[in-house]
Structure 1
Amino acid sequence: MRKNENSVLQKDINDNENEIGRLNNEIGKLSKDIELLKKRNEDSIRSLEGDRGRSEGDLVELKKKAAEAEHECAKLKILLEKTKNEIDYLNSEKDKAKGQGYQKKIDEFNKCISESEKKTRVLKDEIGNLNNEWKERVTQSSRLASSTIVKTDSGETTKRINMLTKELSA
């Protein structure tokens, strides 16, 4: 019976040793998984720290740009206030000028400006008409050349005229 008990115990010991070996293998695999996760986390942390560093650099740059923009805004506000004051001054000078006979000169100057604006509009209209006339002539020449080409049935000439027409249009 003792032998039997010993063999049962030996079998239990062997089973337990096999189980311990299996558990040790699992522990090894889990340890590797843990190490892999640690490495991934460390890589992620390094990446995030790099991103944070770049973001902080961007933030510093944006703060600098914001400060510059605020400075420019302040300068523009000062310039605006200065311009308002100049307008007020010029308006008061205008009022003084009315009493001193300068209004006539101002009116003459305004009249010259109005006439110049009117002449400018007339010239713009003339230029527009000339452009339209030129475009019409180019179109007519192109049509005439195209119909001539169709009659002579010359492919090379058609290509050349189309190319010249495009150059004229450009």
Structure 2
Amino acid sequence: MEFKKPETFGEILILQQYLDKNIHSSRERTLEDITMSFIAECVEFNEETKFSHKTWKTKEYDKAKELEELTDIFFFFAQMVNYCDTNLDEFTKIAYLIDLDFNEWNKKYIVEGHIPVLYLIEAVSKNHLLTVSDSLIEICQKLGYTKQDILESYWNKWQKNMTRIGKEWN
């Protein structure tokens, strides 16, 4: 099967589904597992931003590392959206709305000097996927990332992750 760089969030969902089906887990992955992974990535991402909660540490800011961690959040977000496909009607509606939101990349309400990571964690813990989508786009825009930045970064990381299967991963 041949894949290409995604141009939409819907195409990210297809790539994520393929990746997830090829990873051999020791047990079936649950929504709770995905949510915990998402939250862990949110904390890792926060630590790479200029707004890190670790105010006692001085660490040189690395925009590439920040984007990598943000992209990891998108991996788990896509995994979460795909997990919801057990209820096909709901999945189709949610996936469509998220794809529309992502693809239009409309300007979000941005509060100066604030990245809503805690709000993102709260929304994902309540499984409010449309709010998660909105918050992710707001964070991207706040930090100056474009939709193309996310698509490119996702594609590069997806290709790397595919090579990890059977080596670093089961």
TM-score bracket for this pair, using the shorter chain length: under 0.3
Q: Which has the higher contact order (CA 8 A, sep 6+)?
A: 2
Please, what TM-score do these two structures have when normalized by structure 2? 0.21
Larger Rg: 1 or 2?
A: 1
Which one has a larger percent helix, Structure 1 or Structure 2? 1
